[in-house]
Structure 1
Amino acid sequence: MEILKLDDAEKVARLLERYIQSAHLNFLFGSGASMPAIQLAGNVEQEVDQHLVASEYEEANKKALTFIEELEYQHGFLPAGYTEGDDTDITLKNYLHFLSSIDRILFERKNILLPRQANVFTTNYDEFFEVAASLLPSLVLNDGFNRRIGNSGFEFAPELFFDRVYRSGTVYQHQSEIPAINLIKVHGSISWKRQANEKITLGEPETDQLTVVQKNNPKDVSDALAKRAVILPNMRKFESTLLDRVYFDLLRLYSNAMEMENALLFVFGFSFADEHILDITRRALRNPTAQVVVFSYSQKGAVDLEAKFSAYRNVIIIKPTDSQYIDFPVLNSLFDKIGAVPEALHD
């Protein structure tokens, strides 16, 4: 394991560029990426777990539902129902900046043997990636839903992930690959709907929230949770057979992506508190050609990451200097240095 302090951004950017040009590109995003619009999900998970340990199942249900409803409420301000400069605006612009940079990097990629494709794995339920992608007309985002069939909502079809998109010339039929980003939401999403036929479809996040009186009724809370197709990590009690199967299917996609030759994973806003993802990542690091680069928000967080990956030589932890934090703007500034970024993104 190697520890790099972010006191020389140019040096770190050159290191990232060298990896990017010769690797299959993957990202893992956690709840830290959606700050400041959304509080860290890890805090909520710990509180719910505490209720479960104490056999306070009704309180655990209520806490979990309240967090999901907050995400759904926040989604109502997207894509344009927010105030310039507020937390939602700041967070959405961070995602816009990131997706634009990755789209550009894939387009300019010099290695024609590798796909012009990046996989973005995220444990977040929010819709910032999807909304940001909708504001970038040239970006191809594959969210795993089949838009060719379905009358009552697009059906989830994970086999569509990793499909490559090509454009042909009109005269000589020359084919060129279009950059594409696979968005793989391993914990589900507030826009996923659970159907009676054991299918998951894409829809709008719920807008009806329970009243205070209803939240004191355990059945109302349980029914409200059952309508949402989200997987709450470390809270197995809330999962159904359907979601359990989907969860492990998506984890298998993560595992397969990391076992490819020259797999590269950038990790941001994620502490590896999810034991399943931590275990899969550690197993993938047995692949000698795999490389994991973890951006630690704080020096304190870096200590925990060092303990988790101390036995692995193909892990780089990038931590901030004494007076710094590695937040989303800092991450974006590093990828800015890999080629040029249009000035409009900085307006």
Structure 2
Amino acid sequence: MLDRESPEPLRVNFELVLGTLHRWRSALLESGGRLHLDGPASVDTTANDLDESLRRATRALAGVCDLPVAGSEGSLITHKNFLRKLLTRPLNLKRVNVFTLNYDTLVEQASDAEGVVLLDGFVGTQRRVLRPESYEQDLYFPAETTEGRVHRFDRVLHLYKLHGSVTWVAGSPTLDNPYGVQSTAFDPDGAQPLLIYPTPAKYGETLGMPYSELFRRFSGALTRPQSVLFVIGYGFGDEHVNTIIRQALAVPSFTVVIVDPAPKSAFVRALREQKDRRIWIGEGPTLGTLAGFVEHVLPDLRDEDIRKKVLATHRALAKASPAVGETSDGD
């Protein structure tokens, strides 16, 4: 961030800045209001100025999150491998849910490259609007069998962007767009406000729509029986997320796997002290990174299926073959 009086960059927590601007703006109910705060760092501004500051700040943050940058397109390889392995799960299991706090579109770009259909809560072709009920939909195709059965399409994932996205723009709610949220291509110079949610400083802060609906679905997914949560690249700085994970640990069949090269948060330290077999922590330069996790930990179930079929074939051949020393009749 740049100070008007100095060209030197200021080291600040961008999300903290956004959170502060949002709180100041929420104190002014009308667009023509004025905010005056006394203190060591006095504030005297208007609602219109705050709206413009929020627009510019979110656009600046979104520009940094517009990944991959030119010349580093190879960074999508890990995301592609990650998606390929996720899609090897048996089709009789529930769809994989990918919950992300990132604003970037790396998952979407990798999915496009791999031909993966993302159920991301948006519907529409010319105009994509948020409809969370669309998460309940699924894709099937008719099988070419006499029974006329249908089969689930295998290249489908559910994507939940809990903190918004650089492609989400906010508008006024209407009958055909009840949340007022639309997904478009990222435009760094666009005039519409982006829906990028700053990490709340306190758990008590209220989550507005559509974030409250997305977090509700996150909580519901974790508290289902036999759920497993893989936490990758998250520093446990959002108390809303942390509370949902704590609640999920009350479910006996819940398992959490934390992937972090050097976990330092008090939350992870508290989990480690529990010595709970349902809590796994992968750390270090290999197992603690997304690339290392995908390569060394996340299984490719297609390989496992091939091994099982090879072993079954060997066993069948062994049973059908005569034992050593035996001869067939007539020899």
**TM-score interval for Structure 1 and Structure 2 normalised by the shorter chain:** 0.5 to 0.7
Paired residues in the alignment total: 262
* Maintained 8 Å contact 1:193/1:202: yes
Q: TM-score, normalised by structure 2?
A: 0.67
Q: Give the alignment partner of residue 77 of structure 2, picking from 88, 93, 96.
A: 93
Task: Determine whether 1:187 maps to 2:185.
Answer: no
Q: Give the alignment partner of residue 121 of structure 1, picking from 94, 99, 107.
A: 99
Task: Determine whether 1:164 maps to 2:164.
Answer: no
Q: Which residue of 1 aligns with 2:121?
A: 144
C-alpha deviation, 1:265, in angstroms:
0.6
Q: TM-score, normalised by structure 1?
A: 0.64
Unaligned ranges ≥5, structure 2 = 1-11, 25-39, 174-178, 304-331
Q: Give the partner amino acid of 1:82.
A: A
User: Percent of pairs identical after alignment?
Assistant: 22
Tell me the distance in 2 between the aligned counterparts of 1:157 and 1:56: 42
* Maintained 8 Å contact 1:99/1:133: yes
**1:201 to 1:330, Cα distance in 2 relative to 1, 3 A:** same
* Maintained 8 Å contact 2:55/2:193: no
Q: Give the alignment partner of residue 327 of structure 1, picking from 275, 286, 289.
A: 289
What does the per-residue CA deviation read over 1:70-101, in whole Å, with 9 as the maximum and x for residues that have no partner? 533663x76xx732xx3xx2432221121122
C-alpha deviation, 1:190, in angstroms:
0.9
Q: Which residue of 1 aligns with 2:238?
A: 274
C-alpha deviation, 1:193, in angstroms:
1.5
Tell me the distance in 1 between the aligned counterparts of 2:42 and 2:122: 36
* Maintained 8 Å contact 2:119/2:157: yes
* Maintained 8 Å contact 1:144/1:159: yes
Tell me the distance in 2 between the aligned counterparts of 1:249 and 1:55: 36
Q: Give the partner amino acid of 1:275.
A: E
C-alpha deviation, 1:261, in angstroms:
1.0
* Maintained 8 Å contact 1:296/1:302: no
Task: Determine whether 1:234 maps to 2:174.
Answer: no
* Maintained 8 Å contact 1:125/1:190: yes
C-alpha deviation, 1:204, in angstroms:
1.4
Unaligned ranges ≥5, structure 1 = 1-41, 210-223, 342-347
Task: Tell me which structure has the larger Cα radius of gyration.
Answer: 2
Tell me the distance in 2 between the aligned counterparts of 1:60 and 1:90: 38
Tell me the distance in 1 between the aligned counterparts of 2:197 and 2:129: 18
Q: Which residue of 2 aligns with 1:11?
A: none
**1:336 to 1:317, Cα distance in 2 relative to 1, 3 A:** closer
SS at match of 1:229: strand
SS at match of 1:286: coil
**1:102 to 1:325, Cα distance in 2 relative to 1, 3 A:** closer
- After TM superposition, the runs of 4+ consecutive aligned structure 1 residues lying more than 6 A away are 49-61
Tell me the distance in 2 between the aligned counterparts of 1:186 and 1:100: 23
* Maintained 8 Å contact 1:186/1:251: yes
C-alpha deviation, 1:250, in angstroms:
0.6
Q: How does 1:24-43 map to 2 (within 5 A)?
A: 43=13
Q: Which residue of 2 aligns with 1:286?
A: 250
**1:155 to 1:227, Cα distance in 2 relative to 1, 3 A:** same
Q: Which has the higher contact order (CA 8 A, sep 6+)?
A: 1
**1:166 to 1:73, Cα distance in 2 relative to 1, 3 A:** same
SS at match of 1:260: coil
Q: Which residue of 2 aligns with 1:220?
A: none
How large is the Cα RMSD of the aligned pairs? 3.6
